[in-house]
């Protein structure tokens, strides 16, 4: 299918949050996990989402409309940036909570996990928070072109156990396109019922 995605809205504060009637899939992950690169890959464009050399720079919530399907991919600000102040971290948590809670059109959260790292506490905190709220989690191992196949498989199994899911997380690479068409299929399944 000839899909396009376009940035339709960017917000920075809770007071700017509005209900969106269309189904949404949110993207979450630690700073530098490869979230902007993934958005750009899906968009087939190099610079739609800013690829930051300085992690922790993006503090906004970006709404991308997927055409012609009509649902939204909502890019949440990256978390876990070490140099970020406590106030900033709290601000992040509040904005995300406000977005996630009571959002009946939020169909799933794609949680981006760095394929080069063992499961990180901060990622598990997010996934258990989502699980508690009953929000489906789409785990994605980013930068999957980097680790050896065996390492990747091991990590996939670790995350499968942690998340208690039937399927293995998706291996994705913005560099090679690994997992891209599968990711679209998964998004479509959640967003369009
Ligand atoms: P964000 O902070 O989560 O938006 O991360 P970025 O998309 O800005 O990526 C962080 C760094 O990881 C950049 O240097 C990217 O070039 C690199 N990166 C992102 N995705 C991939 C990938 O699939 N493969 C490889 N090898 N590097 C990647």
Highest mean pLDDT pick, 12-21, 39-48, 137-146: 137-146
Contacts of residue 149, defined as CB under 8 A and 6 or more positions apart, other chains included, come to: none
At residue 60 the predicted structure's pLDDT band, cuts being 50, 70 and 90, is confident
Distance 36 CA to ligand 1 centre (A): 7
pLDDT attached to residue 55: 52
Domain that includes residue 32, residue range: 4-191
Q: What strands lie across the sheet with 137-142, from one edge to the other?
A: 4-11, 61-67, 72-75, 24-29, 106-114, 137-142, 170-171
Q: Whose CA is nearest to atom 21 of ligand 1?
A: 143
Contact present, 192 and 71 (Cβ < 8 Å): yes
Give the position, in ligand 1's atom list, of the atom nearest the Cα of 144.
23
Q: pTM for the complete prediction? A: 0.94
ipTM of the complex: 0.99
Contact 136 CB / ligand 1 (< 6 Å): no
Confidence band (pLDDT; 50, 70, 90) for 57? low
- Ligand 1 centroid distance, CA of 148 (Å): 17
Is 41:142 a contact under the CB 8 Å cutoff? no
How high is the mean pLDDT of the chain? 91
* Pocket residue to mutate for ligand 1, from 29, 33, 35, 37, most atoms within 8 A of Cβ: 37
Residue 62's Cα: distance from chain center in Å? 11
Q: Which residues contact 83 (CB under 8 A, 6 or more apart)?
A: 56
CATH label of the domain that carries residue 155: 3.40.50.300
User: 111 in helix, strand or coil?
Assistant: strand
Mean pLDDT of 100-110: 94
What is the per-residue pLDDT for 83?
A: 67
Give me the pLDDT at residue 67, please: 95
How does pLDDT run across 145-173, given as a tens digit for each residue?
999 999 999 999 999 999 999 999 999 99
Q: How many domains does one find in the chain?
A: 1
d(CA 63, CA 164): 29
Separation between Cα atoms, residue 109 and residue 137, nearest integer Å? 5
| Cα separation of the two ends of the chain | 18
């Amino acid at each position: 299918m000839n899909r396009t995605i376009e940035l339709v809205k960017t917000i920075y504060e809770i007071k700017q949050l509005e209900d969106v009637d269309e189904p949404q899939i949110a993207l979450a992950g630690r700073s530098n996990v490869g979230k902007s690169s993934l958005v750009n890959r899906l968009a087939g464009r190099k610079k739609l989402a800013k690829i930051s050399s300085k992690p922790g720079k993006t503090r906004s919530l970006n709404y991308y409309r997927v055409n012609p399907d009509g649902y939204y991919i909502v890019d949440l600000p990256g978390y876990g940036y070490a140099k970020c102040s406590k106030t900033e971290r709290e601000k992040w948590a509040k904005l995300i909570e406000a977005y996630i809670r009571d959002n009946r059109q939020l169909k799933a959260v794609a949680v981006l996990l760095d394929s080069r790292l063992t499961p990180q506490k901060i990622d598990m905190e997010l996934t258990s928070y989502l699980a508690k709220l009953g929000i489906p989690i789409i785990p994605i191992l980013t930068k999957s072109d980097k680790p050896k196949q065996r390492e990747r498989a091991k990590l996939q199994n670790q995350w499968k156990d942690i998340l208690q899911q039937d399927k293995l997380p998706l291996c994705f690479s913005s560099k090679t396109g690994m997992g891209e068409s599968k990711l679209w299929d998964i998004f479509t399944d959640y967003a369009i019922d």
